[in-house]
Amino acid sequence: MSGSCSDTNGGEKMTLAHKVARAKDLLEETALEFGPENVVVAWTGGKDSTVTLHLWSGVLAEMGFSGLRALNIDTGCKFPEVMEFRDMLTAEWGLHLTVARPAADLRDYPVARDKVACCAALKVEPLSRSVREMGAEALLTGIRRDEHPERGRAHSERRERPDCLMVHPILDFTEMDVWAYIMERGVPYCSLYTQGYRSLGCVPCTLPVAEGEERSGRNAEKEAHMGTLRALGYF
C-alpha cells in the first residue's frame, strides 16, 4: 500500500476534488488488500472521522460490498451530544458499531489529572483491545496532517499498538475541506460544532474555541505530549 504523499499534485495545490479522489483510491486499495470485513473505521463521532465513515460507505457501495464496521471508544467522559449523535447516525446508516469502554473504574479514577496516563487508560487500552477482539487488519481514521505536527505524514502506517495497519484517508484535508465536504454532501454532524467547538474530545479536556488553532480548545498538556501518546497507540 502506498505511503506518504504531498499536498500537491504535479506541483499544483490539490483541490478538494483531488483530495477526495485520492482518499477513495486509498480506501479501494484497502478494501481489496484486506477485504471489507477486516476493515474498521475508528469513529469518534467528530466531524473528521464522520467524513472518513461517509467516504468508506460510498466506496463500499461502489464496490458492491455491505457491512460498514465501526469502532467507537466511550471513555465515560464524552459529551452527551456526541453520544446522542453517535447513536442517531448508527441507526440511520445501519452501522455495525462496536462500542469499547475502558477497564478502569471511573468512580475511583483520577480523570484528567495525568493527561498521558488518562488517555492511555481510557482511550488507548480499549482501542488496542477492541482492534484485537474484532480481528481488524486495517483501521481507518479521521486524522489530518494540519491538526497537529505529530500527526504524521504517511497515509498508512503499520502499528503494534494497536496491532493493525492504520490508514488515514483524509490526511491531506484541511479543516475547511472537511466542512466543505460535509456541506456539499449533506453529511450529518454533532450539534456541538454550532456552539463554538471545533475539535471534540472528552469533557474535562475540551473547550469552545473563539479563534486561533483548531485544537486550541483541547488541553494544552495533552497536546504537548502527543508524540508520547502516539507511541503508546493514540492517533
**DSSP summary character for residue 197:** -
Q: Which of 11, 55, 87 is nearest to 181 (CA)?
A: 55
Cis peptide before 188 (omega within 30 of 0): no
Supply the angle between the helices 47-62 and 80-93 in degrees, to the nearest 10: 10
Exposed e or buried b for every residue in 122-155, given b needs 16+ CB within 10 A?
Answer: bbbbbbbebbeebebbbbbbbbbbbbbebbbeeb
Cis peptide before 162 (omega within 30 of 0): yes
Q: State how far the Cα of 182 lies from the Cα of 137, in Å rounded to an integer.
A: 28
Here the cell at position 199 is 475539535
pLDDT at residue 47, as a whole number: 97
Cα–Cα dist 97/71, whole Å? 6
pLDDT of residue 117: 79
CA distances from 33 to 17, 36, 71 (A): 24, 9, 20
Residue 149: predicted pLDDT: 65
CA distance 122 to 73: 8
* Spatial distance between the Cα atoms of 126 and 102, rounded to a whole number of angstroms: 5
CATH architecture of the domain with residue range 12-232: 3-Layer(aba) Sandwich (3.40)
d(C-alpha 98, C-alpha 69), whole Å: 8
The amino acid present at 122, given as its one-letter code, is: L
Grid cell of 85 as nine digits: 449523535
Consecutive sets of 10 residues in the chain, 235 residues long: mean pLDDT of each?
A: 48 87 98 97 98 98 94 94 98 97 75 74 92 97 83 82 93 96 98 92 81 52 55 58
Residue with grid cell 453520544, as numbered in its chain:
83
CB 212 within 8 A of CB 202: no
Please state the pTM of the whole predicted model. Answer: 0.85
